[in-house]
A and B are shown apart, each in its own frame.
Chain A
């Protein structure tokens, strides 16, 4: 398993204010979505690769592996855009294609162009999100959400789900170990049976846990809201200035590229 969570707590940018990291990631992502030129998307991919590998010191191998994750479904998605179907041909625009009983299936120049645009745009946006999730622990992302005044219900759910993913994982692992030590996964038949029992046991345990958690919270004066205080982070003026410069440079580059003045 790729330990994104682990890197979030140990990377070089851990001490940077989460709001600064979130601002960097999201402004870049919006620019990436807003402007469609593949060249610009590639600039963003490179920028984020530098931030992730060069600044946060995430191993290159981990970065490449993560970037390859969306490739499979991205290629399928992009393929459907690259390939066009028509009943009356594409004329000169068609680069390649076949005709089956009057229906043209072919690749056009514009189709290919928008497919490439979408491909790089998606990778660019994904790398922005990777930057945030690799450098900022989930807890701090929740702090950012709190600062941005996102509804409490949403924040509390995020917090609880994140916490209990790990409790559930540990429980599942314990059950799995105890099953396999008793030949629970020795044959296909045993495996099917054991997996079913594991799932059922997890549901029951999850329910039981929610009850004991509620008891424990009530005994600390829970009144329907999970009030917590975030640790105090230090704001870095230098970081904010750098982010502002990088983002405005990106925005100007994007506008210039769109106007066709350079590149």
Chain B
């Protein structure tokens, strides 16, 4: 049996204004893997994440962390928030301090660590996110991409078991988006589980080990990217497009350019390799 770090069972949540954001959702996040939660706007991704951290309490259903039901007393909540960190979508609503250094020190200090440990962790988080040179800058003078990295450092300094990122690449330029994903690849190496939400199918397809598709407060599909993104009906129900790699790959097979039944390419390089080494080129040489 696979090992799950976070589980949601029959989760339902209604906002005070009457919006039912989650409708009996089931989901299990595998440990130490890269998980992407895909869905269009309003599918309930952010609401789900706030449950994983105990900010929202489900109307019905349960949330489990490490196989144990989450309880909502003060001590358990602090323990949960120590282990599950959320990087919010808008950095300006997460950054509360005008100083980058103080901002990052907030989380680890709340964990009751010694000053020296906190300083070490702040330094390490800044190194990992590449923001050492921003230490003496005020947060309001940073660019959007820099703010984003500070918010990730905020959570990294708490050294959680699960790092959840809400739309980490939204509004980022391609270069910084790529750097952010590479940072996640680095974080996962020491066993941290990384979960991100996105509506960018190409990103999810190339990056994730496991994918959940959400629509209207429910999980309507899940699996490894190859499987999920070959399911046209599923993607249509979720208002998502097919990744362009899958489209191009299909077309090349249809045109007889590459052999059928090949495994799907996960990135541009893999696709090119297929064309160059396994392709049947009928065009000019």
Interface residues of A (CB under 8 A from B): 5, 9, 14, 137-139, 159-160, 162-163, 166-167, 170, 209, 212-213, 215-223, 226-232
Distance of A50 from chain B, by nearest CB (Å) = 26
With A137-B138, A209-B93, A220-B158 given, is the CB distance from A163 to B98 under 8 Å?
yes
Which chain B residues lie closer than 8 Å to A231 at the CB level?
Answer: 99, 101, 135-136
Contact with A along B89-104 (1 / 0, CB 8 A): 0101111111101110
Let me know if B86 and A212 touch, CB within 8 A: no
Let me know if A227 and B110 touch, CB within 8 A: yes
Let me know if A230 and B140 touch, CB within 8 A: no
Cα distance A218–B56 in the bound complex, in angstroms: 11
Q: List 17 A-B contacts (CB under 8 A).
A: A139-B97, A139-B98, A163-B98, A170-B92, A212-B88, A212-B93, A213-B93, A216-B86, A216-B96, A219-B81, A219-B85, A220-B158, A221-B107, A227-B109, A229-B102, A230-B99, A230-B102
Let me know if A163 and B96 touch, CB within 8 A: yes
A162 closest partner in B (C-beta): B98
Distance of A162 from chain B, by nearest CB (Å) = 5
Cα distance A83–B187 in the bound complex, in angstroms: 72
A217 closest partner in B (C-beta): B96
Distance of A221 from chain B, by nearest CB (Å) = 4
Let me know if A220 and B81 touch, CB within 8 A: yes
Distance of A163 from chain B, by nearest CB (Å) = 5
Let me know if A139 and B138 touch, CB within 8 A: yes
Let me know if B140 and A167 touch, CB within 8 A: yes
B150, CB-defined interface residue at 8 Å: no
Chain A to chain B: the 5 pairs with minimum beta-carbon distance, closest first? A166-B140, A221-B110, A228-B102, A212-B93, A229-B105
Contact with A along B108-137 (1 / 0, CB 8 A): 011100010011001000000000000111
Q: Which of B92, B118, B136, B154 contacts A220 (CB 8 A)?
A: B154
Let me know if A229 and B110 touch, CB within 8 A: no
With A9-B138, A219-B53, A219-B86 given, is the CB distance from A229 to B119 under 8 Å?
yes
With A9-B141, A220-B106 given, is the CB distance from A228 to B85 under 8 Å?
no
B82, CB-defined interface residue at 8 Å: yes
Contact with A along B127-164 (1 / 0, CB 8 A): 00000000111111100000000000011001000000
Cα distance A218–B69 in the bound complex, in angstroms: 20
Let me know if A228 and B106 touch, CB within 8 A: yes
B78, CB-defined interface residue at 8 Å: yes
Residue in B81, B99, B102, B136 with the greatest tally of chain A CB atoms within 10 Å: B99
Which chain A residues lie closer than 8 Å to B88 at the CB level?
Answer: 212, 215-216, 219
Q: Which of A170, A216, A229, A232 contacts B109 (CB 8 A)?
A: A229
Distance of A155 from chain B, by nearest CB (Å) = 11
Which chain A residues lie closer than 8 Å to B50 at the CB level?
Answer: 215, 219
Let me know if A228 and B138 touch, CB within 8 A: no
Let me know if A138 and B98 touch, CB within 8 A: yes
Cα distance A36–B167 in the bound complex, in angstroms: 61
B14, CB-defined interface residue at 8 Å: no
B55, CB-defined interface residue at 8 Å: yes
Let me know if B141 and A159 touch, CB within 8 A: no
Which chain B residues lie closer than 8 Å to A222 at the CB level?
Answer: 110
Let me know if A163 and B140 touch, CB within 8 A: yes
Cα distance A9–B119 in the bound complex, in angstroms: 22
Which chain A residues lie closer than 8 Å to B154 at the CB level?
Answer: 220
B81 closest partner in A (C-beta): A221
Which chain A residues lie closer than 8 Å to B137 at the CB level?
Answer: 9
Let me know if B55 and A219 touch, CB within 8 A: yes
Q: Which of A159, A218, A219 contacts B98 (CB 8 A)?
A: A159
Distance of B255 from chain A, by nearest CB (Å) = 47
Let me know if B109 and A228 touch, CB within 8 A: yes
Distance of A208 from chain B, by nearest CB (Å) = 9
Let me know if B98 and A220 touch, CB within 8 A: no
Q: Which of A160, A219, A230 contacts B96 (CB 8 A)?
A: A160
Which chain A residues lie closer than 8 Å to B118 at the CB level?
Answer: 229
Distance of A185 from chain B, by nearest CB (Å) = 25
A225 closest partner in B (C-beta): B110
Which chain A residues lie closer than 8 Å to B92 at the CB level?
Answer: 167, 170, 209
Cα distance A223–B50 in the bound complex, in angstroms: 17
Q: Which of B78, B94, B99 contacts A216 (CB 8 A)?
A: B94
B122 closest partner in A (C-beta): A229
Which chain A residues lie closer than 8 Å to B98 at the CB level?
Answer: 137-139, 159, 162-163, 166
Let me know if B103 and A228 touch, CB within 8 A: yes
Cα distance A186–B98 in the bound complex, in angstroms: 36
